[in-house]
């Protein structure tokens, strides 16, 4: 645990981290720190409260039920031991089970002062998203919480998590591929635009594999600083660097016997790619500060939103690593290419948020479904889900109109005044015309450019000019 001297140092580093984050807008997320050590809870609160809207602490898990009646946090930092002398984690695991049983459970990051790999793995198996050993590295803690907040925003609540929905030809083909590759040990790379559900595909592979009883551990590779890459993935030994105050398991060790999902693999710097390649080739990792390697037992599923032209560019991604990861490639089609799946997705998410927010059950107004199906959905399923949440909360009428989904945002028509510069009106008309062409072309830049009589390059310049 933290002593007074350690706490002072921790607060100094927390202040430095907070200063680095001041330029970032606070997230609307709420965080609960459940730890019986007041100093530990205070240090974490000071670190996180400048980054997130609400950061509260609770020292006794017996007060959790009363707190949850009034407030549901997005992320919980959960100590695994509360009673003096306890190191088995049973108390924290019991609280984890209570949190996971909630209708809309928060993301849970396990905290433990004891670098016990089996306990950390057990917490992950029971639903924890991540684990942190105390005393922690402040940047590591801040990154873990930011990642948990992002994953909560991008993933439906547990218990309501959508399967891979849709009966379109692209979805049927994808499901058939998953069924074929899941029982094998082959590495799989999932390709697709932002928001198409690449992590859902990875989870479906894990659930249908021989490793389904093991841990599914997701890592945002693009968010890992290169300086701490090896420590995060391979672990470290106490004293291996300045802040290494205890042994720590890396992600490869924590996911032993399960599936390691390497998300945003295309955002890794080339130096980190070389280190990952070595680990995968040798099937072993060496924790920082250790004098011997440790074998790894994980199935690797990776994902990226890079287009394949860039993925095969050696200046962006190492070809030898690519060939190691893409034994099987699964391509997830964007929503605009499987419009027949949109009605099922709309029904699912509208029902989900009607129940979550206690809103009335409503149908789509005549004509709304056709317009929603024709929408280009540049943010894919994620954008559709957010649009449904907005509609469920804000729709004023007895049914859902297209406008309730927040998709149509035409520029306001301002009456022309003699003193109004002509360029302002022309600019607004040009922006509206481009937006209408993109909508009609379902986001296809080449088609929209032809409709407007422009070259692709000219259209891109105008998109930048108007912030579209």
> Cα 425 vs. chain centroid, distance in angstroms?
40
The whole-number pLDDT of residue 154 equals 57
Kindly state the tokens that stand for 117: 């790999």
The whole-number pLDDT of residue 57 equals 93
Split at pLDDT 50, 70, 90, the class of 184 is very high
CA atoms within a 13 Å half-sphere pointing along the CA-CB vector of 100: 17
- Statement: residue 304 has pLDDT above 90: yes
The whole-number pLDDT of residue 460 equals 64
The whole-number pLDDT of residue 462 equals 74
Q: What is the CATH number of domain 336-405?
A: 1.10.8.60
Q: Which of 2-16, 101-115, 155-169, 376-390 has the lowest mean pLDDT?
A: 2-16
Kindly state the tokens that stand for 400: 């859902």
Residue 34: which residues within 8 A CB-CB, separation 6 or more?
57, 58, 61, 64, 76, 77, 78, 79, 95
Over residues 280-307, the mean pLDDT reads 90
Kindly state the tokens that stand for 231: 């420590």
Q: Strands across the sheet with 75-79, in order? A: 52-58, 27-34, 75-79, 107-112, 130-133
- Statement: residue 2 has pLDDT above 80: no
The whole-number pLDDT of residue 6 equals 30
Over residues 233-255, the mean pLDDT reads 80
Give the 3-state secondary structure of residue 159.
coil
The whole-number pLDDT of residue 299 equals 95
**399, β-bridge pairs:** 363
The whole-number pLDDT of residue 153 equals 65
Hey, where are the domains in the chain? 1-156, 162-333, 336-405, 422-466
Evaluated on CA atoms 396, 401, 403, 407, the torsion sign reads positive
- Statement: residue 160 has pLDDT above 60: no
Cis status, amide bond into 135, omega within 30 of 0 = yes
The whole-number pLDDT of residue 456 equals 62
- Statement: residue 461 has pLDDT above 80: no
**45, 53, 63, 58: which is closest to 25 by C-alpha?**
53
The whole-number pLDDT of residue 368 equals 93
pLDDT per position as a tens digit, 397-423: 999 999 999 986 543 333 443 444 444
Kindly state the tokens that stand for 361: 């059950």
**287, 290, 224, 222: which is closest to 254 by C-alpha?**
287
- Statement: residue 132 has pLDDT above 90: no
Distance between CA atoms of 387 and 432, rounded to whole angstroms?
21
Split at pLDDT 50, 70, 90, the class of 334 is very high
- Statement: residue 359 has pLDDT above 70: yes
Distance between CA atoms of 312 and 301, rounded to whole angstroms?
18
Over residues 306-329, the mean pLDDT reads 91
Q: How many CB atoms lie within 10 A of CB 237?
A: 16
- Statement: residue 131 has pLDDT above 90: no
- Statement: residue 165 has pLDDT above 70: yes
The whole-number pLDDT of residue 16 equals 44
Q: What percent of the chain has pLDDT over 90?
A: 38
The whole-number pLDDT of residue 467 equals 63
Domains 162-333 and 336-405 share a fold: no
The whole-number pLDDT of residue 116 equals 63
Statement: 422-466 belongs to CATH 1.10.10: yes
| 311, 322 Cβ separation under 8 angstroms | yes
CA atoms within a 13 Å half-sphere pointing along the CA-CB vector of 324: 19
pLDDT per position as a tens digit, 57-81: 999 998 998 888 778 899 999 998 8
The whole-number pLDDT of residue 72 equals 85
| 202, 261 Cβ separation under 8 angstroms | yes
Of residues 154 and 181, the one with the higher pLDDT is: 181
pLDDT per position as a tens digit, 5-55: 333 333 334 344 444 444 444 567 889 999 988 888 888 998 898 778 789
Split at pLDDT 50, 70, 90, the class of 330 is very high
Evaluated on CA atoms 383, 384, 389, 390, the torsion sign reads positive
**297, 258, 16: which is closest to 122 by C-alpha?**
258
Distance between CA atoms of 453 and 434, rounded to whole angstroms?
11
Mean pLDDT of the chain: 81
Residue with tokens 């590495």: 187
Statement: 162-333 belongs to CATH 3.40.190.10: no
CA angle 343, 308, 464 (to 5 degrees): 75
Task: Supply the DSSP string of 355-367, one letter for each residue.
Answer: HHHTPPP-EEPTT
Task: Classify domain 1-156 by CATH architecture.
Answer: 3-Layer(aba) Sandwich (3.40)
The whole-number pLDDT of residue 177 equals 93
Distance between CA atoms of 31 and 71, rounded to whole angstroms?
11
Crossing angle, helix 445-452 and helix 422-440, to 10 degrees?
Answer: 130
CA angle 30, 2, 128 (to 5 degrees): 40
CA atoms within a 13 Å half-sphere pointing along the CA-CB vector of 60: 3
Distance between CA atoms of 117 and 254, rounded to whole angstroms?
7
Kindly state the tokens that stand for 20: 């680095």
**405, 383, 379, 381: which is closest to 392 by C-alpha?**
405
Kindly state the tokens that stand for 287: 């924790």
Split at pLDDT 50, 70, 90, the class of 464 is low
């Amino acid at each position: 645990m933290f002593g007074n001297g350690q706490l002072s140092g921790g607060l100094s580093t927390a202040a430095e981290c907070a200063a680095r984050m001041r330029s970032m807008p606070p997230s609307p997320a709420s965080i609960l720190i459940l730890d019986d050590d007041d100093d530990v809870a205070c240090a974490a609160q000071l670190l996180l409260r400048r980054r997130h809207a609400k950061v509260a602490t609770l020292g006794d898990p017996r007060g959790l039920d009363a707190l949850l009646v009034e407030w549901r946090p997005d992320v919980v930092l959960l100590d695994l031991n509360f009673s003096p002398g306890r190191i088995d984690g049973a108390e924290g695991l019991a609280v984890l089970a209570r949190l996971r049983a909630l209708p809309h459970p928060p993301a849970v990051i396990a905290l433990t002062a004891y670098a016990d790999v089996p306990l950390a793995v057990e917490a992950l198996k029971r639903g924890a998203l991540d684990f942190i050993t105390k005393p922690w590295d402040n940047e590591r803690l801040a990154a873990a919480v930011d990642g948990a907040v992002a994953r909560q925003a991008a993933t439906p609540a547990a218990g309501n998590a959508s399967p891979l929905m849709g009966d379109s030809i692209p979805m049927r083909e994808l499901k058939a591929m998953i069924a074929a590759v899941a029982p094998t040990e082959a590495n799989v790379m999932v390709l697709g635009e932002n928001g198409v559900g690449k992590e859902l595909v990875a989870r479906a592979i894990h659930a249908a594999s021989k490793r389904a009883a093991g841990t599914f551990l997701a890592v945002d590779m693009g968010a890992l600083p290169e300086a701490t890459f090896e420590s995060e993935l391979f672990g470290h030994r106490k004293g291996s660097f300045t802040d290494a105050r205890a042994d720590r398991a890396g992600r490869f060790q924590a996911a032993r016997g399960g599936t390691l999902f390497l998300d945003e693999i295309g955002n890794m710097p080339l130096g980190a790619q070389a280190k990952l390649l070595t680990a995968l080739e040798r099937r072993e990792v060496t924790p920082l500060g250790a004098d011997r390697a440790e074998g790894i037992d994980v199935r690797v599923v990776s994902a990226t939103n890079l287009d394949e032209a860039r993925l095969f560019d050696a200046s962006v991604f190492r070809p030898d690593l690519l060939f190691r990861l893409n034994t099987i490639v699964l391509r997830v089609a964007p929503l605009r290419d499987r419009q027949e799946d949109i009605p099922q997705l709309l029904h699912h998410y509208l029902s989900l948020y009607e129940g979550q927010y206690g809103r009335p059950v409503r149908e789509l107004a005549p004509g709304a479904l056709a317009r929603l199906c024709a929408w280009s959905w540049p943010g894919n399923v994620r954008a559709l889900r957010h649009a449904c949440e907005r509609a469920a909360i804000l729709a004023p009428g007895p049914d859902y109109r297209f406008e309730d989904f927040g998709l149509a945002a035409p520029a306001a028509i301002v009456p022309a005044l003699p003193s109004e510069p002509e360029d302002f009106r022309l600019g607004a008309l040009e922006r509206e015309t481009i937006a209408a062409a993109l909508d009609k072309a379902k986001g296809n830049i080449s088609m929209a450019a032809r409709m407007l009589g422009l070259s692709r390059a000219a259209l891109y310049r105008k998109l930048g000019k108007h912030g579209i």
